[in-house]
Amino acid sequence: MNLPNKLTIFRVIMIPFFVFFTLVPVAGEASKWIALAIFIIASLTDWLDGYLARKNDLVTNFGKFMDPLADKLLVCSALICLVELKSIPSWIVIVIIAREFIISGFRLVASDNGVVIAASYWGKFKTTFQMIMICLMIADLEPLNLLTTIVMWVALILTIVSLVDYIVKNKEIMIDVK
């Protein structure tokens, strides 16, 4: 197993620890900072595994499947925790998770038809803003409340824009489904 795939697996393994420290204040106020550190490290492995796989020609079918799944598990787990903590409205999380299900289904249909749908720049921007939003919400610093709200709305708008972009650019896949 190559290093990018190990980083992807590491990201998945970090998720339960992130959830634990986010929801169980075993270390008091330090729990949220531990959770934030875990989330940041996991988020950075997302960037690093893709960079290493492309740079060193280590792209594998396992990585193509597991990397986006690991990202969705990390982000969705964090968003669900933030709903539990009442840091984000549940309807926003429903929109974000629904987008992920729609795109995953879309990619599955495309794959069954021999088409690979690559991540778009809109999708990458969306993921970046979602991860920044999650970090700001976990940190929950009073002076950053306005920034957190702005980033949340930008993440939501990018979520919708990236969904529309995927569908418009790949509508022929749904039309040609047999």
For residue 67, which phi and psi values (nearest 5 degrees)? -60, -50
Q: How many domains does the chain have?
A: 1
- What average pLDDT does the segment 33-49 reach? 96
Cβ-count burial of 47 within 10 angstroms (0-12 exposed, 13-18 middle, 19+ buried)?
Answer: middle
Range of the domain at 42: 3-175
pLDDT, tens only, 82-106: 999 999 999 999 999 999 999 888 8
For residue 30, count other CB atoms closer than 10 A to its CB.
11
Here the tokens at position 12 are 């998945």
- What average pLDDT does the segment 53-82 reach? 92
Please say if the pLDDT value at position 165 is more than 60: yes
Average pLDDT along the chain: 92
**CATH code at position 87:** 1.20.120.1760
For residue 120, which phi and psi values (nearest 5 degrees)? -95, 170
Model pLDDT, residue 74:
96
Please say if the pLDDT value at position 118 is more than 90: no
pLDDT, tens only, 133-163: 999 999 999 999 999 999 999 999 999 999 9
